[in-house]
Structure 1
Amino acid sequence: MLKIMLKACSVTVAVVAVSQVVSFATRYAAGQPFTLFVFLMNSILPVLTAFPAGLYVFWQTARLKRALAELRELHVKLEAKANRDQMTGFLNREAFFEQFKMARRWTDTGALALIDADHFKKINDTYGHLVGDEALKLIAGAIDRTTRELDIVGRIGGEEFCVFLPAASRDDAVQIAERIRIEVERLVFQPDDGKHYPLTISIGVALTRGHHLTSQLMRQADRCLYDAKGRGRNTVVVEDALAEMAERKTSETG
């Protein structure tokens, strides 16, 4: 409020100064004397009109600025709520794939990692869904700590996460995926009387190429994830590893 009053005072002083100069020039040009009464009137009338008007205008402007700031903050919150998974803070399914498609416009290379929590149904069935949610939060935290700042991370299903690694080579993708897997494996999860319950994940990684559609990449990553589950879980399988296995089987058959 003090700042508003100071602004109103500065405007009033300016109006008084302009009024005095104009009045003096007008009377001087007309050959009329510039008396004390004229000086007082040129001072008092602007104060009685300009100061209240300035005070009102600046007060309304400040209110409008506060309202706009609150509106912007609300918009940000609503946008975050619409695009973010409320439990993990990651992008939700729709927002993830939208950002994934946008990212592929500026890079033809990278890797798509599909992550699934191992034996998660057993946790929910044994300890309940609230405990299962705590396990998911721990896993999400591990993923968040081990991914890069430029990586796009989303929760695309109940216990399923997806990470796009822009411009990542095969070696980069393997290193990051292994980092995530190890970080989850090290988590301390004690749902029952302090007893440790091991948390693990399986990861399928598809290497992206410019001509691949999103649906194709997802199918490739899903096949790798299925293979990781078949290998006993807590495993990372990369797309070209499956291709090598298929080639070996073909050569052996031939």
Structure 2
Amino acid sequence: MNMVTGHSAPLSKEANMTPRAKRIVGKSIVVTIIAVVATFALSFTARLALQMPIDWLSWVECTFIPILIGMPVSAYIFAQAETIQETCDKLEKSYAALTEAHDRLTFVTSHDPMTGLLSRGEFIARMGRKRDEGECDTLLLVDPDHFSLINDEHGHSKGDEALVRIAKALVYLTRPGDSIGRLGGEEFGVLLRDVRKEQAITIAENIRRLIEVSPMVKGQQEGMKLTVSIGGAAIPPDADAQDVLRTAGRCLFEAKQRGRNRVSFDYEATKLRVVTP
């Protein structure tokens, strides 16, 4: 029993050493062994070259001096290195967490929380991007028909579901390089990058048809139908974003006036700078 007890204490101390302490001690032992071997090699080589005797004191000096000096010095250096590494790891984790928080904040401030689409400010900022000469984007304004009736007759939760349904249709029928935003309560904007009027009309018609034939919500009630009206306007290189929005808004109003559930591009790009009196 005593023998077992006598050997258990060192083992428990070794087992209780932290990984950090084990690394420091292990590296220090390796460095000390190298120092002892190097001291023996240099000292004995010098003594033999100078024809000096190698006595027991030489063995003691070459063994204990490197241990007494090298072990604590190397342990201190490795401990400082571990501390620096731990600090760097913490800083790296803090930077990653800060970057993630910044990305989340940027997304929240630039996107609509309900649909996940761009906010009005971010969408208009993308409309104002610099375009090369001859490059022409197209803006679509998408607005659900009789949306107030959906809210009044079926509740705001159904209205929210309708908006999400429209947002999904817009994402489905546009390209990754296009921009989609929620510009107001129920109005959406689609920025078709480097797409001219003819192709834009086709895309707008596809959006209108998809929303018309898709069930608005699960368990849709009789007579509960969702349609949209779409107004479009070209965005030439030198166009002002607000002028384009006004032109597309007039086209959207024209689509509503003509019976809704339709696409209108009646205002030409040459009228973008005409100010409404």
Question: What TM-score results when the alignment is normalised by the length of structure 2?
Answer: 0.74
**What pairs up with 1:96-175 in 2 under 5 angstroms?**
96-102=123-129, 104=131, 108-175=135-202
Query: What is the aligned partner in structure 2 of residue 201 from structure 1?
Result: 228
Structure 1 range deviating more: 157-166 or 45-54 = 45-54
Structure 1 range deviating more: 137-146 or 213-222 = 213-222
Residue 177 of structure 2 aligns to a residue in which SS? coil
Offset from partner CA, 1:44-100 (integer Å, 9 cap, x none) = 224532333232222222111111100000000000011011011111111111111
Query: What is the aligned partner in structure 2 of residue 248 from structure 1?
Result: none
Letter in 2 for 1:169: R
**Selected match of 2:77 from 27, 50, 74:** 50
Pair 1:24–1:138, CA change in 2 (3 A): farther
Structure 1 range deviating more: 191-200 or 44-53 = 191-200
Displacement of 1:207 after TM fit?
A: 1.4
Pair 1:194–1:145, CA change in 2 (3 A): same
Q: Which has the larger radius of gyration?
A: 2
Q: Does 1:65 align with 2:92?
A: yes
Q: Distance in 2 between matches of 1:175 and 1:19?
A: 80
Displacement of 1:128 after TM fit?
A: 1.8
The size of the alignment, in residue pairs, is 242
Offset from partner CA, 1:221-249 (integer Å, 9 cap, x none) = 11111111112111111145799xxxxxx
Question: What TM-score results when the alignment is normalised by the length of structure 1?
Answer: 0.80
Displacement of 1:187 after TM fit?
A: 1.8
Q: Distance in 2 between matches of 1:162 and 1:105?
A: 22
Q: List alignment gaps of at least 5 residues for structure 1.
A: 244-254
Letter in 2 for 1:202: S
Percent identical across equivalent pairs?
Answer: 32
Q: Does 1:231 align with 2:258?
A: yes
Residue 116 of structure 2 aligns to a residue in which SS? coil
Q: Distance in 1 between matches of 2:177 and 2:42?
A: 68
Structure 1 range deviating more: 19-28 or 136-145 = 19-28
Query: What is the aligned partner in structure 2 of residue 217 from structure 1?
Result: 244
Structure 1 range deviating more: 12-21 or 187-196 = 12-21
Q: Distance in 2 between matches of 1:126 and 1:5?
A: 71
**What pairs up with 1:73-92 in 2 under 5 angstroms?**
73-92=100-119
**Moved beyond 3 Å, runs of 4+:** 2-34, 103-108, 190-196, 239-243
Displacement of 1:133 after TM fit?
A: 0.8
Q: List alignment gaps of at least 5 residues for structure 2.
A: 1-17, 53-57, 271-277
Displacement of 1:165 after TM fit?
A: 1.0
Structure 1 range deviating more: 44-53 or 206-215 = 44-53
Letter in 2 for 1:153: I
Root mean square deviation of aligned Cα: 3.4
Residue 168 of structure 1 aligns to a residue in which SS? coil
Q: Distance in 2 between matches of 1:242 and 1:64?
A: 53
Displacement of 1:108 after TM fit?
A: 3.4
Letter in 1 for 2:129: M
Q: Does 1:187 align with 2:205?
A: no
Residue 35 of structure 1 aligns to a residue in which SS? helix
